[in-house]
Every structure is written in C-alpha cells, then in structure tokens.
Amino acid sequence: MSERIESDAQSEVGYPATGSETLTYSPELRGSAPSLDAHEHANDHFALIYESREEQFAAAIPFIRKGLERDERCLYITYENTRAEVIEAMRAYDIDVDTALDSGQLSIHDEEETYLRNETFDADETLEFIDAAIEDATEEYEALRMTGEMSSVLEEDPDGEELVKCEAKANYLFDDADGIALCQYNRERFPADVIRDVISTHPLLIHDNRISSNVYYTPPKEFFGPEKADCEVDRQLGMLREQTDVKDRLSKREQRLRELAEDLQENEERLQLALEAGEMGMWELDLQTKDSPIRSRQHDRIFGYEEPIEEWTFETFLDHVHPDDRENVERSFEQAFEAGKWEFECRIIRTDGEEREISAQGAFHSDDEGDPVRAVGVVRDVTDRKERERQLRELVERLEESNERLEQFAYAASHDLQEPLRMVSSYLRLIENRYGDAFDEDGEEFLEFAVEGADRMREMIQGLLEYSRVEAEGEPFQAVDLNVVLEDVCEDLQLRVDDSGAEITSERLPTVEGDANQLRQVFQNLLSNAIEYSGQEPPRIHVSAERDGAKWILSVRDEGIGIDPDHADRIFEVFESLHTNDEHAGTGIGLALCERIVERHGGDIWVESTPGEGSTFSVTLPDPEA
C-alpha cells in the first residue's frame, strides 16, 4: 500500500463509527445527528445546503480531512470551484494534499469524469458508478468518502427529476455499504422545489454550519410509493404532535431550570452569609493558569480590599505574603500536590500596609487522568486568635512559674514549721510528764487540747508537704498492676479493717502507666475515707474497673453516711472538711492530694453520693493499650 496521510488523530481512541458523528468532531460544525436508520457500517448520506463558499468549505473540507485521518478513500467532485481552489482550501485546513494525492488516498475529479461521464446525467448509471467506487475503495481502505458539487447536474437535468431519483435510491446503497456521501447544494442555484425534494431524500442535513437529523426525511419506499401523500400527512401530523410535546417538555424544563437557578442563588447567598459570619473567605484556584476567578467577598476583604477586585492570581496572593514567609508558602504549595490538600499559616501585608496573620486550607481536585487541575479552599484572618494564644501562653507560663514558687514556698514553710512545732510538742509532753500531777481537772483538759492541736498541726504540715511534692518528687511512670496496689493497701489497713469489721471486695483491676507509690496513696485515702465514714454499720466497700474508650474508670463504692451533693466539690479543696474533728478525724487534705495525683496521671476524680446511702468515688486513668 502507498504512503498515506498520518495524523495525531489516528492514534486517538474512541472515534465514532458513523459519518454523522465524525462530522460533529469538526469545530466548524455544531449539533449532534445520529443516523436515523441505525446503519451498521461507517456510512451516512448527507445533504449540504449552503449559501456561500465559506459555508460550503466549512463542512466539505473537514469532511474530507476526517476521512483521511480514518484511513478512508476520499473523492472530491468539483464544478463551481476549480481543482486549484479546492486544493488551496484543503491546505488551509492543514491537509497534506500532495501526500494524499500521491498515495491515491485522495482524488479530485470534475463532473465529466463522474456524474456526466456519458455526457448526460442518469440516476442508475450514477449509482452504479458510486457502487463500483465503494467496492474498489474497500479493497484497500476502510471505506469510501465522497463529496460532490451537485450544480453540474442542472445543465443536463434542469428540473432535477433524475437528480432527486438518484438521491432517494442512494439511501438503499448507503444502507448496506461502507460509503459516506456529502452532496453539496447551492441554494441560490437550485430551484426551491428541487431543494425541497433534496431535503426529503437525505437522512442528515448540514445548513448554516449546523448538522442535524432530518425530520423531513422520507425513506425511499415512501418517496416512490403510491401512498406518498398519506405518509407525508402522517409524518407532518406526527411532527406537530412531537413539536407540541417538545415545547411542553422544554417549558417544564425551563421552569425547573429557573427554580434550580433560584435555589442556587439562595444557596450561594446563604454560603456567603455563613462565610462572612465565620469571617472566612472562599477561593478556587486554576492550577494550570494559576488564576483565581471564583472568590467570596470576604476573601478579598481579608487582604484589605473593600470591594472584590477583577483579577486575582497566585502571584497576587504571593505579593501579599510577608517576604519572610513567602518561601515556606511556596514550598507548602508544591508539597500539596503530593498530599492532595494544602494547609498553611503565614503573615500577609494588607493593601493598607497592616500586617495580619492568616490560616488557609484547600483540597486539590484531579481530572480523569489523576492530574490536579484545581484547588478549592477557605482562608481566615487569625491575627486576633494568634494574639489571644500568645497571651494565653504567657499567662500559663506565669501561672506555672507562680505555682512552682508557691510549691517551693509551701514545701519550705512546711519543712521549716516542723522544727518549732516539734519543739512545742516536746515541751507539752515534758510539762505533762513532769507537772501533770499538779494540774486540776481543767488544767489537764487544757493540756490535752494543746497536745492534740499540736499533733493535728503536725499531721496537716506533713499532708501539705506531701501535696507540694506530688510533681517535684514523683517517680517516672511505669506499668503498675492495680491489683497488687490494692492488696498492699488492704494489708496496710488490716488493723482498721479488723477493728471496724469492714468487708472490701474487688473486681479484676487493669494495669496502667503511673507512679505506683502515688497510686497507692490514692487507694489508701479512698479506702480510709470509706471506712471512716461508714456510719453505724460495718463498712461494705467495693472496688471496680470499667473501660471507657481510651481510659479506665476506677470506682470505690461504700454504703456509708454519704455526702450532700451541694458540697461535693468542696471536699477536694485543701484543708476542707465537711465534719468537725470530734465527729471524724482527718486533716482535710487527703482528697485534695488524690486530685493532685490523679491530675498528674492525666485523669479526673469525682464523687457521686446520696446522703444516708453511701458514696462512689471515681477516678479515670489513661488506658496504655488504647
């Protein structure tokens, strides 16, 4: 086979099979026209009705170009235009005419070599010529594609009788052959009745650069049949019904589109209000052009523009970014292509010169091939939030420093108070031992009050020392089996358990990460309180554990005197007690110490209680396996 035209289009996938569809790929034509007869071959029968050379070549030349690209044998029959003019037009449409002519894939003929080769126009002879040309072409090519300027027939067939007969019968031929024909009719040269019959005999029409299925097409059997008039009336009536139905559907569709447009407008307004209420700006960036034509009003206001500006690009944004932050912003943008999302914070310079801080988030959208094509996101001015965060950090730092100084002071004061208190206690004991017999009953009572006060003061100082040392002298966290901790505490409290007749039961407890000594203090305080505040009945105490998401809830439940819910928060304050020392002994620091230890372990502590029915103290600790 001779060398043929090569085109990039030949390597593309998905060319449509019918000639009508191939023409819709030409940018010169508009519309979509599938073949009415559902041809199984690469075949169609077009009529081009034109009123100027530009309109003629806008359809005929792309028709030939597409055939060359699809490896079809192409035939152009001239009359109104010379061979040279047709070749010039083909070259204007980027056809390699010389290669196509040399290879034999393209040939250009005049009417004397084709329609009028026997000096007269005969329909049957013309159809035989076309049939032979198709057969000859398909031996080497995919199909035959031919187009002819039909004005040449007028000299031999001025009333168009043979011509219309040929066009009608051609539909039989193209219905079962690999051939595509585009018949060119100059509307100014053909009589109107001939144009009317031409329209009736072509299933597909091109006019005014539009390609369409021909609703006026009459199949050959009807065109030549005795009931042609009845069929035409039926067709016209059917067209009227269809036009009415189409208009009705279009009216309903237009109404629906108006409603959708109104809903869309309302949604856009709501979105704008929501964005402005949240002080957020919306943006969309074309990743190919780096233009951002779609933005909310708030977006431009963030950068200092009272009214939206016409043009906004990625470079416009970078011009507003603080020079010291620009490199980081550009780096984050490049990295976002891999991650599929863009998140960053930076400083900007507004149009009025004010420096602000912004936070932006965006998501990348890709085309069918997976390449990012656009990014959509929001931007927010976070200057005030950043300032509040800075102030909060400074306040936290000052509080931490203050707490540290307070802890140091409490420790030092407590430590230093022990020596004079020890001296007071020693002298009171010395007075009691040496001069006790000299006191009357009131004197002995006063001395006893002084000794008990000193002892209670010593216990309070010792508790305060322990409270102040929770952070400073705590051990590093490690795995702690709470079952072992509970057993140790119960052994330490065994004497009190025996004296009170207490019964302590427990479920299986978990292993946690923590300071074993401090957790032992928590259990000891909670169990001691449960025994102390048991009331008249022997204490009944139950220890349980329940997993709650990423933490454990440990509970100590008793059936004692309970706590008024209005005072539940007070019991965790330092030196706070709901009972007098005569009623229940204690320093009032045990539960405060428990809270401090639990907080160090990242948990919480609270109490649920009903007076006269008992209390449940609960502690949360992180689950190391979560």
HEC string for 414-468: HHHHHHHHHHHHHHHHHHHHHHHHHCCHHHHHHHHHHHHHHHHHHHHHHHHHHHH
pLDDT at position 624 over 70: yes
What is the tens place of the pLDDT at every residue in 333-372?
988 888 888 899 999 999 999 999 999 999 888 888 888 8
Are 45 and 213 within 8 A, CB to CB? Answer: no
Instruction: Output the pLDDT for position 49.
Output: 93
Closest CA to 33 of 262, 217, 266, 263: 217
Superfamily name and number for 8-225 = P-loop containing nucleotide triphosphate hydrolases (3.40.50.300)
Interval 399-427: pLDDT, tens: 777 666 666 655 655 555 556 666 777 77
pLDDT tens-digit series, residues 263-287: 888 877 777 676 666 678 888 888 8
Token pair, residue 563, equals 């706590």
Mean pLDDT on 23-27:
46
CA dist 330 to 282, 465, 619, Å?
Answer: 20, 55, 49
pLDDT of 472 higher than 70: no
Confidence of residue 463 (pLDDT cuts 50, 70, 90): low
Q: CA Rg, the chain, in Å?
A: 49
Confidence at 17, pLDDT banded by 50, 70, 90: very low
Give the pLDDT band of residue 186 (cuts 50, 70, 90).
Answer: very high
Q: Which amino acid, 377? A: G
- List residues bridging with 506 in a β-sheet: 543
pLDDT score at 40: 42
Confidence (pLDDT) at 72: 92
Alpha carbon distance 296, 370 (integer Å): 28
Per-residue pLDDT of 171-182, as tens digits, reads 777 777 788 889
Q: Is there a contact between 186 and 176 (Cβ–Cβ < 8 Å)?
A: no
Q: What does the pLDDT read at residue 574?
A: 66
What is the predicted pLDDT for the residue at 458?
66
Q: Which fold has domain 388-470?
A: Helix Hairpins (1.10.287)
Class of domain 278-381: alpha beta
Q: Which tens digits make up the pLDDT trace of 382-406?
A: 998 889 989 999 888 887 776 666 6
Residue 496 CA to residue 28 CA, distance in Å, equals: 102
Three-state DSSP class for 260? helix
pLDDT at 43: 53
Q: How far apart are CA 16 and CA 392, in angstroms?
A: 67
| Mean pLDDT computed over 492-512 | 92
Which amino acid does the sequence have at 268?
A: E
pLDDT confidence of residue 147 = 93
pLDDT in the model for residue 578 = 54
pLDDT at residue 572 greater than cutoff 90: no
Whole-angstrom distance, CA of residue 570 vs CA of residue 572:
5
Specify the amino acid at residue 216. Y
CATH number of 475-622: 3.30.565.10
Higher-pLDDT residue of 273, 69? 69
Residue ranges covered by each domain of the chain: 8-225, 278-381, 388-470, 475-622
**Residue 587 pLDDT class (50, 70, 90 cuts):** low
Q: How confident is the model at residue 12 (pLDDT cuts 50, 70, 90)?
A: very low
Helix or strand or coil: residue 73? strand
| pLDDT band at 95; cut points 50, 70, 90 | very high
The DSSP code sequence of 199-255 is: HHT-SEEEETTEEEE-TT---HHHHHSTTHHHHHHHHHHHHHHHHHHHHHHHHHHHH
Residues 6 or more apart in contact with residue 407 via CB below 8 angstroms? 468, 471, 472
- The answer to which of 14-28, 86-100, 203-217, 282-296 has the lowest mean pLDDT is 14-28
User: Once rounded to an integer, what is the mean pLDDT over residues 453-465?
Assistant: 63
H-only helix segments in 70-137: 83-92, 97-103, 123-137
Task: Say if CB 168 and CB 223 are below 8 A apart.
Answer: yes
Question: Is 60 exceeded by the pLDDT of residue 591?
Answer: yes
Q: Which two tokens stand for residue 488?
A: 């140790």
- The residue-averaged pLDDT of 159-175 equals 80
The pLDDT score that the predictor gives to residue 4 is 42
Averaged pLDDT, 35-42: 40
Which has the closest alpha carbon to 281: 265, 301, 254, 306? 301
pLDDT value at 453 more than 50: yes
Rounded Cα–Cα distance for residues 568 and 615 (Å): 10
